[in-house]
Structure 1
């Protein structure tokens, strides 16, 4: 097995990420990634057993980046509510970027069947996200934190789709405002943000 630190592997993943972001995961062939990365099929398949395994490595890398960003939000200070609001604002800003094509994980879930390694990678992300949001809601003392986490994640998912299909400029403020309303509805009165 090749090291995750291999420069060739990193170059292939960089090419895949750029191509997946510009088009769609399914429409980008392994041959297109190979050509963009300036490598050979033999080298590609030495690092990835299949295109699906490349997609999994790409998604897992995206999850690692999100974990680091969430941890940075936690260490930036403030209570759990402040962290949730900063995460919502960051998601809104992502949806407002030029060229935004929707959430990588939602897109992958839409493009791949439910019973494969790619959907397993999407599920790892969804599980992590739910755990982070639920943990913050528990810290806040929210009623039914699992249910509220589901509501906030549905709101985030909708914002990502709206950022791609609707008016991206409206996403950031709307996401924070709606998220604050959901959280407030489930907190004791003295804790309203």
Structure 2
């Protein structure tokens, strides 16, 4: 018999795969239970509701994305940090099986701002916006909140464009957009 932590990890791994590939609402708890090979009782012992599972899935995605962002950012090099983010986003968004940003996808499926899923999405996006604000501040821009929002919009657009473009083209366009924000905002 698998330890509880292992079972929980297997449920989350299946949810990650299925939610991302097929959509959250389109993936039933029964489908996840079947893929993991557990009983409903076991599933509900780990996640009382499907919503709890979705929140855990998004929290794991958020932690991974946040860790990655922090790993490529050099606080003393805002332009270099943005270039590294652009290259990573360009590479990720053009990989086979890429279906867009898990958070944007979840927000589209859960529009109610009071839903726990949507609150998880919003919390992650707020952390990302704060990271962009820290980069903008290090870059010496005069309107940090506006520059951070512009960077977030560029990031979101690159995630969507990844369906259509080549990794290098997406990364180059994103890097150019980020650089333009730093340059123009610093001149204001």
Q: TM-score, normalised by structure 2?
A: 0.91
1:125 matched residue in structure 2? 124
2:94 matched residue in structure 1? 96
CA offsets, 1:6-62, max 9 Å, x none?
111000000111112221111111100111111111111111121111011000001
Runs ≥4 in structure 1, deviation > 2 angstroms? 166-170
2:47 matched residue in structure 1? 48
Structure 2: where are the runs of 5+ without partners? none
- Measure, in 2, the Cα distance between the counterparts of 1:80 and 1:106: 25
CA offsets, 1:132-173, max 9 Å, x none?
110111111111011011011011111111213x33443222
Contact 1:162/1:168 (8 A) holds in 2: no
Structure 1: where are the runs of 5+ without partners? none
- Measure, in 2, the Cα distance between the counterparts of 1:74 and 1:140: 13
Q: Alpha carbons of 1:53 and 1:168: their partners in 2 closer, same or farther (altered >3 Å)? A: farther
Contact 1:109/1:119 (8 A) holds in 2: yes
2:170 matched to 1:171? yes
Q: TM-score, normalised by structure 1?
A: 0.89
Q: How many equivalent residue pairs?
A: 184
Q: How does 1:40-189 map to 2 (within 5 A)?
A: 40-74=39-73, 79-114=77-112, 115-164=114-163, 166-169=164-167, 170-188=169-187
CA offsets, 1:48-92, max 9 Å, x none?
1211110110000011111211221136x7512211221122111
- Measure, in 1, the Cα distance between the counterparts of 2:172 and 2:14: 33
